[in-house]
Amino acid sequence: MKLTGAQILLEGLKREGVEVVFGYPGGAVLNVYDEIFKENFKHILVRHEQGAVHAADGYARSSGKVGVCLVTSGPGGTNTVTGIATAYMDSVPLVVFSGQVPTPLIGNDAFQEADIVGITRSCTKHNYLVKDVKELPRIIGEAFYIAKSGRPGPVLVDLPKDVMLDSGNVSFPENVSVRGYHPTYEGHSYQIERALQLIYKAKRPIIYAGGGVILSNASKELTDFTKILNFPITMTLMGLGAFPVTEPLALGMLGMHGTFSANMAISESDLVIAIGARFDDRVTGKIEEFAPHARIIHIDIDPTSISKNIKVDIPIVGDCKRVLTVLLKEMEGHEDETERVKGRVAPWLEQIEKWRNKHALAYELEDAIKPQYVVEKIGELTGGNAIIATEVGQNQMWAAQFYKFTKPRTFLTSGGLGTMGYGLPAAIGAQVAHPDATVIDIAGDGSIQMNIQEMATAVQYNLPVNIVILNNSYLGMVRQWQELFFDRRYAYTCMENIAPDFVKLAEAYGALGFRVEKMKEVVPTLKKAFKAKRPAIIDVVVEKFEGVYPMVPAGASLKQMLLV
């Protein structure tokens, strides 16, 4: 077929099964946008390129598909960098198409030129500069293959304007392969057998599940594995929803703001089975004192993540779903071994229950509205069936602690990079992917302002995203650190009297706006907002100095938790 570069791009997107593109037009990609218009291809116009990447990210996390966005050259590309880095840290499959100045002008400081390939090299799984229109079909196929295979991640494709205008006889490859790139999906049988031997000997085991379980769609296998062995399980921030937190074996989240029982259990365990997790510093605390008595099994598709932060005893490189499937199959016919290990583990479960009862997640109800109460009521009103996005900070941690996640792909949050402003555009992306779902962004009054312009996107496309602002008039998490470690010197964290009127702001965008100042107003207002099925901001004035606890101070071990 003889097609222009812009036509090839649209044809490539169709062949990859892309249903929607999030983007913002500009001079370098006008011919691409003209093809989108002529083809009536679904496109969501955001109000900032960072919002486009976060929206594509939320779409990808909630749907399991590759998220796609399209931006122009120069500042259009540079505005995507934070979103790309966010996706890279959390292993989210994205393909970002950026416009570029014509190839003869590259390197000449042309108008709206930026070396986006160089800029994003450290925060993409791979990136491309397309130099010939004949290369474009191959590059599109490779970009999607790389983004979604192995450990997923973002891929950037830079599109010079003249390449998009050029035309030629092109064909799309039937199969995609990339030289030197061959992810390992099947775990080594010898390592799996060694892991089973440790599992059957364990007395104080714990399963430590991360976001890789969700990315590989292995939640069912993880649940079966956990229940057959009757082992306690804890999850990372990114792993919440991989195993129902309502189950008795679930200890909730571990790490800096994890539960007392999870942190104590991993510290006193004799076997840690890490599945799809990367031993992030927010999980391990002081590395030298992380699980000091335990042998460690680590299952992960990324070989570079194994023994990078914590030395492990039995590495298993492979896809979580496939490795767990083999483990489950190997356990068949060994019911006697399974029953014996259950008997050995029974005293351990009793000890964990004592820890759970001693310091359960809790808060005291007072006249002021407690943010934890708001999160709990959101869970009750939605039956735990909503898709929850968050901003970053205290709002994020309260959501992780007090919302009962029971299903994968229902919690969207920036874990690795900690990007304020992530939640609203991510919620928009999730709402596009799931038009009939209840999608809620749990936000802070500081972080919501980072990308508040995307309210216009929600209103334009009638996406009924609800933003619940836990408004404490501070940059809350930073204020908490200042309170604990800087003698309450609240340097530039107080937002009181300088934040906007969020109700008026919502109305200015054409959305619904609500303010809640009394405890008795929380439930009726949330009900009203959720029932309206329109974009809405619910501004909840909460206790200013409420903290997120437990908390492990930086550099401390997981057992050195601040509990109040």
What Å distances lie between residue 153 and 85, 126, 168, 213, CA to CA?
A: 10, 9, 31, 15
Final residue before a domain boundary, out of 316, 337, 358 = 358
Final residue before a domain boundary, out of 335, 358, 381 = 358
Please tell me whether residues 324 and 375 are part of one structural domain: no
Is residue 547 domain-resident? no
256 has catalytic annotation: no
Is residue 211 domain-resident? yes
Distance CA 158, CA 107 (A): 14
Distance CA 464, CA 480 (A): 32
| Domain harbouring 43, CATH code | 3.40.50.970
Note down pLDDT in tens along the chain; length 564 residues.
799 999 999 999 999 999 999 999 999 999 999 999 999 999 999 999 999 999 999 999 999 999 999 999 999 999 999 999 999 999 999 999 999 999 999 999 999 999 999 999 999 999 999 999 999 999 999 999 999 999 999 999 999 999 999 998 888 998 999 999 999 999 999 999 999 999 999 999 999 999 999 999 999 999 999 999 999 999 999 999 999 999 999 999 999 999 999 999 999 999 999 999 999 999 999 999 999 999 999 999 999 999 999 999 999 999 999 999 999 999 998 889 999 999 999 999 999 999 999 999 999 998 999 999 999 999 999 999 999 999 999 999 999 999 999 999 999 999 999 999 999 999 999 999 999 999 999 999 999 999 999 999 999 999 999 999 999 999 999 999 999 999 999 999 999 989 999 999 999 999 999 999 999 999 999 999 999 999 999 999 999 999 999 999 999 999 999 998
Which of 35, 49, 221, 391 is catalytic? The answer is 49
Q: Answer yes or no: are the C-beta atoms of 57 and 34 closer than 8 Å.
A: no
Q: How many domains does the chain have?
A: 3
Which of 161, 420, 450, 546 is catalytic? The answer is 161
| Domain harbouring 272, CATH code | 3.40.50.1220
342 has catalytic annotation: no
112 has catalytic annotation: yes
Please report the pLDDT score of residue 564 as a whole number.
83
Please tell me whether residues 352 and 376 are part of one structural domain: no
Please report the pLDDT score of residue 169 as a whole number.
86
How buried is 39 (Cβ within 10 angstroms: 0-12 exposed, 13-18 middle, 19+ buried)? middle
517 has catalytic annotation: no
Please tell me whether residues 352 and 407 are part of one structural domain: no
**Boundaries of domain holding 77:** 2-169
Distance CA 279, CA 68 (A): 29
Please tell me whether residues 344 and 199 are part of one structural domain: yes
Is residue 475 domain-resident? yes
Distance CA 38, CA 25 (A): 15
Can you read off the two tokens belonging to residue 546? 């409420």
Can you read off the two tokens belonging to residue 292? 């000091």
Final residue before a domain boundary, out of 358, 387, 416 = 358
DSSP 3-state assignment of 305?
A: helix
Please tell me whether residues 158 and 300 are part of one structural domain: no
Please tell me whether residues 249 and 395 are part of one structural domain: no
Please tell me whether residues 37 and 104 are part of one structural domain: yes
Interaxial angle between packed helices 423-433 and 49-63, expressed in degrees from 0 to 180 and rounded to the nearest 10: 50
Please tell me whether residues 61 and 119 are part of one structural domain: yes
Which of 19, 39, 41, 112 is catalytic? The answer is 112
Please tell me whether residues 294 and 383 are part of one structural domain: no
Distance CA 6, CA 12 (A): 10
Please tell me whether residues 237 and 284 are part of one structural domain: yes
Please report the pLDDT score of residue 1 as a whole number.
74
- Of the candidates 313, 323, 242, which has an alpha carbon nearest to the alpha carbon of residue 271? 313
Is residue 488 domain-resident? yes
- Of the candidates 228, 232, 181, which has an alpha carbon nearest to the alpha carbon of residue 209? 232
CA triplet 127, 95, 50: central angle to 5 degrees? 100
Q: Answer yes or no: are the C-beta atoms of 249 and 233 closer than 8 Å.
A: yes
Which of 37, 111, 485, 545 is catalytic? The answer is 111
Please tell me whether residues 37 and 137 are part of one structural domain: yes
DSSP classification of residue 130: -
49 has catalytic annotation: yes
Is residue 291 domain-resident? yes
Please tell me whether residues 520 and 425 are part of one structural domain: yes
Is residue 67 domain-resident? yes
Is residue 12 domain-resident? yes
CA–chain centroid gap for 536, Å, is 23
